Amino acid sequence: MSQFIYGNKPETVIRASARSRARRVNHVLLGSILKVVSTEGDWLEVDSLGKGDSGWVHKDDVRSTPILKTFFVDVGQGDGAIVESPEGIMLVDGGPNSNLFKFMKRRYRRILRSGQQLEIKAMVVSHPDYDHYNGLTAILKDSRFKVGTIYHNGIIRYDDDNLPSGTEFDLGKLRRKNVNGISRPVLTETFDTLSQAKTLVDGGHLAPAFRRFWQAALDAKQDGHLGKAKRITIRDENLPGYAQDDDDKLFVSVLGPLPTKMSGSVEYVAFPDAHDIADADPRPSSSHTRNGHSIVLKLKFGQHTILLGGDLNIPAQQHLMEHYGSDNPFRVDVAKACHHGSSDFHVEFLKKILPQVNIFSSGDNKSFDHPMADAVGAVARHTRGSHPLLFSTELARATSGSKTHYGLINLRSNGDVLVMAQMKEQHKNKADIWDSFTVPWPGKFAKEIKESES
């Protein structure tokens, strides 16, 4: 039976022979899987499984168990992330196009070509916006992918031109209700299970892409490669299957969305546009309501934490800060910037996150121009460390001739060491194709500066 091991250094060096001074033939990132071919004393001959040249690694540079790996995929103007952990694979959003699907087929090609199904433990749709869920439809349609549970926030997307009778809001029915002593418009119509999704699909009023997504989910369930769907809010506290707070396990907290009450039917405050928040009785905004009630996940692996905040906006961030009060569950090491770097952010919320690393997921849609200059400046200012790190899927993109090399931001953690990386645009040294940064990052020339000052 084949033995597989994992790189356990920020960049594990593969050498031409079993000697510490042998020529370096490859570097693989922390957590990269390697197949053991043979052994020689304290050295292991390994097959790099297509990740550059194979060779020899020292046993002290590898480990026997998998780590946390998160891939922020360049899906253009949208979000799409793959989270690999000892618990399995989790997808968080899928972008508007086929980029995530293509990346998955390439990354997991050995499993798919062998005739096995790739098991996806959790598929999280942060909120029902096209640029977050549409790319997941192709995965649901492909029987080579077996999905355990689709997690969603329960918000419906009706077709603006074909609303159900008695509905004037494309997210469903609104009612004036008392929320924390204030009369506010409340979204009272939400859904949970696949059977409820079927009722909505059969009703014929859903927005076309939203209908296609849930029809694909219903077909996948019938064909046996989807387990179920579940609405998730802060009532759940943790993502099911990710609730073991252990150094070698991925622990996932659910910090949003926040319903109007903690029991009974799930209802959400209808948020106004950020331009209107100072009005005495602001009009509900569809975009701010569905974005503002994004599923917010906090991932914890060993000593490291990551925040995935969907498309949170100013009204939503105010809403969450009021709820949590003096408690601050948002402080993390790495944060994906909310809403692709929109200007619609609250500085006090950024101060609560205060990460060491920020990641922007955005594309070339010029109607948005994300990330905005003020968002880039604000997150850089409200980041910990003397050398904070800022990554962008769009900036990581490169071209050669007529070919586009889509950007990919890598996060790797073994619980003690955290590494962020993106591929070099020019691979002059084929044995080292990554620009990688340990977190906290001391600066590329920290050693030289220290020596010059001594």
How far is Cα 385 from Cα 440, in angstroms, rounded to an integer?
Answer: 7
Q: In what order do the strands lie in the sheet with 268-269?
A: 174-179, 182-187, 268-269
Band (pLDDT 50/70/90 cuts) for residue 279 is confident
CB count in 10 Å sphere of residue 149: 20
The residue type found at 308 is L
Question: What pLDDT shows up at residue 228?
Answer: 98
- Answer yes or no: is 404 within a domain: yes
Q: Tell which of 65, 93, 113 closes a domain.
A: 65
Tokens of 409: 């931001």
Residues 85 and 47 in one domain: no
- Answer yes or no: is 433 within a domain: no
- Answer yes or no: is 75 within a domain: yes
Q: In what order do the strands lie in the sheet with 408-413?
A: 226-231, 145-152, 118-124, 88-94, 80-85, 68-73, 408-413, 418-423, 434-439
Q: Tell which of 50, 65, 80 closes a domain.
A: 65
- Answer yes or no: is 405 within a domain: yes
- Answer yes or no: is 437 within a domain: no
Residues 178 and 253 in one domain: yes
CB count in 10 Å sphere of residue 235: 14
Residues 23 and 79 in one domain: no
Residues 202 and 326 in one domain: yes
The model's pTM is 0.95
Between residues 298 and 453, the one the model is more confident about:
298
Length of the chain: 454
Query: In the chain, how many domains are there?
Result: 2
For the chain, percent of residues with pLDDT exceeding 70: 97
Residues 288 and 185 in one domain: yes
Residues 57 and 81 in one domain: no
Is the pLDDT assigned to residue 336 strictly greater than 90? Answer: yes
Residue 88 pairs in a beta bridge with 85
Return the H-helix or E-strand segment holding 80: strand 80-85
Task: Residue 204: give its domain's CATH number.
Answer: 3.60.15.10
The predicted-structure confidence for 406-436, as pLDDT tens digits, reads as follows: 889 999 999 999 999 998 766 665 666 778 9
Task: Residue 20: give its domain's CATH number.
Answer: 2.30.30.40
What is the chain's mean pLDDT, rounded? 92
Residues 117 and 12 in one domain: no
- Answer yes or no: is 77 within a domain: yes
- Answer yes or no: is 435 within a domain: no
Residues 213 and 283 in one domain: yes
Segments forming the whole domain that contains residue 156 = 68-423
Is the pLDDT assigned to residue 2 strictly greater than 70? Answer: no
**Residue in 102, 97, 96, 106 with CA at minimum distance from that of residue 128:** 96
Residues 78 and 171 in one domain: yes
Residues 61 and 73 in one domain: no
Question: What pLDDT shows up at residue 166?
Answer: 87
How far is Cα 18 from Cα 40, in angstroms, rounded to an integer?
Answer: 7
Residues 145 and 3 in one domain: no
- Answer yes or no: is 197 within a domain: yes
The predicted-structure confidence for 152-185, as pLDDT tens digits, reads as follows: 999 999 999 999 998 989 999 999 998 888 899 9
Residues 312 and 224 in one domain: yes
Q: Tell which of 65, 99, 119 closes a domain.
A: 65
Residue 228 pairs in a beta bridge with 149
Exposure on the CB side of residue 92, measured as CA atoms within 13 A: 26
